[in-house]
Amino acid sequence: MAAAVAVLVTAGGAVAVQLPTDGHEAIAPGYGQDDLRRETDAIRALGVIGVQARVTTGAGRDLVATSGVAEAGTNRPVPRSGYFRIASTSKALVATVVLQLVDEGNLALDDTVERWLPGLVDGNGNDGRRITIRQLLQHTSGIHDDDLPGYTTPQEYYERRYDTYTPQQMVALAMRHRPDFPPGAGWSYSNTGYVLLDMIIEKVADRPWHQEVEDRILKPLGMDHTYLPGQTPTLRSPHANGYQVFPSGERVDVTKVILPDPGGFVSTTADVNRFFRALLGGGLLPKARLAEMQDTVPVNTEVQLFWPHGRYGLGLVNRPLSCGGSYWSHEGGNGGYITLNGATEDGSRTVTVSMSTALNDSPDNALRQEQAASELVDHALCDTAGNGQET
């Protein structure tokens, strides 16, 4: 089947990228079906209820493997193309839209938050006049990330899972805290920073930020299985249920929940791979803007445990490969789903693994889950074992 070509036009000119028409791309000789199945089984063995993983390259069919079940206590298989919440993987989509707006001359990376959202970031040492859009994208703004209620105990989940928050309310929660550090003087992951970026996109475009994501990324790339559920707490079918193991050790089905934006997107492994192929392959940003996105700084010590030697750009994470070089990604975790992904430098090889359980009963178990999924991504991107045939 012939491949499709998506064309996006920005101030830098038209950029085309070749994409699969059906989400089924070939796997190059190397990492094979048995390898992928073995590593999804290893993740399941940690206590993860369901796992699905997909490796995409440039010709033929994707390599796909699943392990476990879609619902605890049943024999229902994990759907090979099931929906799941991608959580913070959404940040890469938001960052891409911001950089497209920059390329079109609608805003600048060194614009301050105050310029676009006057008076919003203020109090307790927070000062929007000193924070730039670049710093929001790179998590170097110093804005403290205030956790929303709803995930510390099973009881709290049941009581608060349908709570909703406006962007202004989420920013106000963060403003109750002093900054973690002066703008540009450190690195600390801040979801609030991306809430502010959503608001800036809306101010610049004069329409909802997610409409910009849809029109600039999802529709042109044919990401027809990526959507924002809004106030709907359930997922489209097919999907595996999402579970969270709380510090008490109790495992709870947390599939039904309303997550705040920008982490509310639902997608599939095929769509996530398609996005990273297009982004790294030059189909969404001109070369100069992609280079700005890939201008990285070290992450803090706490995050280094999960991303050893990891560096953060503008909505993109850079991590080393065991075979040499590095890859680009942005994982996400919330609402019972944890997603890791990765793409080679040119986007020619991508992998996404979705796990339908968050092992939050202990830091050690959470780290083991992260490490097992990271190994899958690393091996799928650079291992030369296997025959590369889907079964």
Active site residues: 88
Question: Across 141-279, where does the E strand assignment appear?
Answer: 243-245, 251-253, 266-267
Q: Is 241 helix (H, G, I), strand (E, B) or coil?
A: coil
What are the phi and psi torsion angles at 251 (to 5°)?
A: -100, 130
- Say if residues 251 and 65 touch (Cβ distance below 8 Å): no
Tell me if 57 sits within 8 A of 25, measured CB to CB: yes
Tell me how far apart the alpha carbons of residues 281 and 239 are, in angstroms, rounded to a whole number: 29
Which residue is it, tokens 């803007």? 289
Please state the separation of Cα 180 from the chain's center in Å: 24
Instruction: Catalogue the long-range contacts made by 316-323 (C-beta closer than 8 Å, 24 or more residues apart).
Output: 316/92, 316/95, 318/294, 319/374, 321/378, 321/381, 321/382, 322/378, 322/379, 322/382, 323/382, 323/383
Scanning the structure block, which residue is given the tokens 């790179």? 138
Give CA separation, 3 vs 15, 120, 281, in Å. Answer: 16, 46, 15
- Which helix (H) or strand (E) is 136 found in, with range? helix 133-138
The SS3 assignment for 235 reads coil
Secondary structure class of 80 (helix, strand, coil): coil
Give the whole-angstrom CA distance, residue 243 versus residue 260.
18
Contacts of 169 (CB under 8 A, 6+ apart): none
Write out the H or E segment, with its range, that includes residue 27.
none
Strand partners, 14: 9
Distance CA 243, CA 71 (A): 9
Q: Residue 73 — left, alpha, or beta (φ > 0 → left; ψ -120 to 50 → alpha)?
A: left
